[in-house]
A = this chain, B = another copy of it.
Amino acid sequence: MPAIDFKIIKKDRGCAARSGSLTTPHGTIDTPVFMPVGTQATVKAMTPEEMREIRAQIILANTYHLYIRPGHELVARLGGLHEFMHWDGPILTDSGGFQVFSLGELRKISEEGVRFQSHLDGSSHFISPERAIAIQEALGGDIIMCFDECPPYPAEYDYVRRSAELTGRWARRCKEAKRRDDQALFGIVQGGMYRDLRERSAQELCALEFDGYALGGLSVGEEKRLMYEVMEYCAPLLPEDKPRYVMGIGAPEDLIEGINSGVDMFDCVMPTRNARNGMLFTTTGRINIKNAGYAEDRSPIDEECACYVCKNYSRAYLRHLYRAGEILASRLNTWHNLHYYLSLMTGARKAIAEDRFTQFRREFYAKKQSLGDED
């Protein structure tokens, strides 16, 4: 029996958007879903109870970071990630591939795997597809990812081709290495911005029959138009009855475009990281709470928002906290931004259920433009 069960609940009649239900060993997720990032076994500045309160359904944890510190074996001895971090909902772990490839000079790729140096202490490590699976099995997430190579952008056709082929061979090794049957394994389609390479990669991955499929190698510096194009032609290449996940994106509009193309899952550090830098999402555009114009502004971040922060705090106070470097600034800003993302997903699911995602998408852009984004 597979570790997860995915059911399409509704397909929007006006576009490729779809809503579904993804059952994992730690609970059922409504899709499309945004997965907040808990890099080091904590969604920065939030408790698990707060994540529940804002209706987070699944959390993503970073294999690379947890492998480096505190170490996957330690996490396993302490009962696995769920118990370690006091989160009993679903968890997805990435494979560590993206972080390892981001190390640049500090890593060396071979057929066997990747040798790299820890960003913390320079110590030398080696991760192969087999090891990436073993690490993720020790961490114990509900969904684990194949170890892939994520090429940079821009990159030559030949480089991307060889890279996607390597990712394909590694995907097969990942599948063979997998031991636990209470975890789902997703394959990752690569191929950069080259349509034929994406098609070939998708075909290869699909032949291996994974529990779900991701698009990797997006949001690596390419123009948004290109990213949207890749999502649009890639989504239909993936099996309709399996969850589709675009890794590492994105801005709210990127999620809207992904959903419009038939994508079910997203993750991104944007809402949490930007929060800590004072950038807040609102239904009418982004604001920067640092701006002097908010010094005496008694209104909430977003008049339309029903979150704890918007119910209880003024922009003036949030600006003060931010300028004073207070931890509460990061907490409240993160709370609001995650609530914004999760509410956007709730709205999208509702719109799909009512066959009006196209209208929802149009309204999203119309509203957003009414203010425009601040620096």
Instruction: Give, as a whole number of angstroms, the nearest-CB distance from A315 to chain B.
Output: 10
In the bound complex, do residue B296 and residue A78 qualify as a contact, i.e. CB atoms below 8 Å apart? yes
Instruction: Using A296-B77, A314-B78 as known contacts, say yes or no to A327 and B324 having CB atoms under 8 A apart.
Output: no
Copy number in this complex? 2
Is A45 among interface residues, defined by CB-CB distance under 8 A? Answer: yes
In the bound complex, do residue B86 and residue A45 qualify as a contact, i.e. CB atoms below 8 Å apart? no
Is A268 among interface residues, defined by CB-CB distance under 8 A? Answer: no
In the bound complex, do residue A331 and residue B78 qualify as a contact, i.e. CB atoms below 8 Å apart? no
Is A367 among interface residues, defined by CB-CB distance under 8 A? Answer: no
- Which one, A13-21, A36-44, A198-206, A357-365, is touching chain B? A36-44
Q: Mark A169-205, 1 if CB is under 8 A from B, else 0.
A: 0000000000000000000000000000000000000
* A44 contact set on B, CB distance < 8 A: 326-328
Instruction: Using A78-B296, A78-B298 as known contacts, say yes or no to A86 and B312 having CB atoms under 8 A apart.
Output: yes
Which chain B residue shows the least CB distance to A74? Answer: B296
In the bound complex, do residue A320 and residue B69 qualify as a contact, i.e. CB atoms below 8 Å apart? yes
Is A126 among interface residues, defined by CB-CB distance under 8 A? Answer: no
Which residues of A (82-98) have their CB < 8 Å from a CB of B? 84-86
Give chain A's interface secondary structure class. loop
Among A46, A319, A326, residue most surrounded by chain B Cβ atoms (within 10 Å): A326
Is A150 among interface residues, defined by CB-CB distance under 8 A? Answer: no
Is A153 among interface residues, defined by CB-CB distance under 8 A? Answer: no
Is A8 among interface residues, defined by CB-CB distance under 8 A? Answer: no
Alpha-carbon distance between A74 and B297 when the two chains are bound, in angstroms: 11
Is A316 among interface residues, defined by CB-CB distance under 8 A? Answer: yes
Which residues of A (275-305) have their CB < 8 Å from a CB of B? 295-296, 298
* A84 contact set on B, CB distance < 8 A: 314, 316-317, 320
* A314 contact set on B, CB distance < 8 A: 78, 84
For this complex, 20 residue pairs linking A to B, each with C-beta atoms less than 8 Å apart, are: A40-B324, A40-B326, A41-B317, A42-B326, A42-B328, A44-B327, A45-B327, A47-B331, A69-B323, A69-B324, A70-B316, A70-B319, A74-B295, A78-B296, A78-B314, A79-B298, A84-B314, A84-B316, A84-B317, A327-B331
Shortest 7 CB-CB contacts between residues of A and residues of B: A45-B327, A40-B324, A70-B320, A42-B328, A86-B312, A42-B326, A78-B316
